[in-house]
Structure 1
């Protein structure tokens, strides 16, 4: 019984677990910046090419999401989601990858490519286009599965032509979270 209670407690994404929790809790008098924090299990994926509310929802147990927004168009987010099993987390990854390949328009396109983190990872690029050429505006996300957990780090803003260097902060954050995710995931 005690072990079952311990496992149940470990299956949550606790407050102050995410990397940006302290920054999100700090009061800022700048009216052009804000943080939002949510522990809603049903929170939408912070990278969601088709803007489908159900994307990545099946099999979720817990979620914790932080989003920083700055005027006029910069944002970054951190999201950790625990699923009921590694298979459920894998399905969420497959569905996200399929959405990145299927959604978008001539003016805004998505792409996803595999990268080497965790059990599986994708770098997802959303990019504005004008007359077929990269324009200002886009998002860069690194989505990583480790066991039954998904880790998502995004940055959105005035990106130009997509480049590998666009993922520096997301890569750094992913590595830091991978070092501690197994304290709450079923690794």
Structure 2
């Protein structure tokens, strides 16, 4: 029994490991702002174009998600998911690419572009369209795999037409996390 508990503790993502955890721990009395931290492996992937509950969940052994929400529609999230193997993490990346191609509507479209981060990385754009033109609203995410870990940084809100500069903060945060992810991943 003790060895099972030690093993569970060994695969958990340690408190304070995530970049946004410190900000999430600060007391904020503003009712229009909220932070949520979850260590559930069942947490939905924060980049989930088809909005499926079990998306990229197979083979997870640990996860931590930090979400900030501000009224009316600003959202940013940080998520680290450790899979049981590199192959499972690669499959999760393939699933993200496939979902980007398969999901979306005429009014909300997704696109993806490869980035040079970690072992493989994607810049995922979700964008509202009206009359065939980009309108206000969307999501910009960087999804990166290093070894058996997925590292995701995303921002959603009142974006205009997609631009490369929309990913600046997510890329910076991804690089910071990739600098320390091998402390918990099987690199």
TM-score under structure 1 length normalisation: 0.95
Distance 1:112 1:14 in 2: 31
2:24 aligns with 24
Give 1:9 deviation, angstroms: 4.6
1:64 aligns with 64
User: Once the two structures are superposed, what CA deviation does each residue of 1:41-63 show, in whole Å capped at 9, x if it has no partner?
Assistant: 11000010000111110100000
Distance 1:63 1:185 in 2: 11
**1:59–1:83 CA contact under 8 A, matched in 2:** yes
Q: How does 1:99-110 map to 2 (within 5 A)?
A: 99-110=99-110
Structure 1 consecutive aligned stretches of length 4 or more whose deviation exceeds 6 Å: 5-8
Q: What is the DSSP-based 3-state SS (H/G/I as helix, E as strand, rest coil) of the residue aligned with 2:101?
A: helix
Give 1:18 deviation, angstroms: 0.2
- Stretch of structure 1 that moved more, 175-184 or 8-17: 8-17
Aligned CA RMSD, in angstroms, stands at 1.5
> Could you list the runs of 5+ residues in structure 2 that have no partner in the other structure?
none
2:38 aligns with 38
1:51 aligns with 51
Distance 2:116 2:186 in 1: 20
2:80 aligns with 80
Aligned residue pairs, count? 184
1:148 aligns with 148
User: Once the two structures are superposed, what CA deviation does each residue of 1:56-95 show, in whole Å capped at 9, x if it has no partner?
Assistant: 1010000000000001110100000000000000000000
Distance 1:6 1:169 in 2: 36
Give 1:7 deviation, angstroms: 7.5
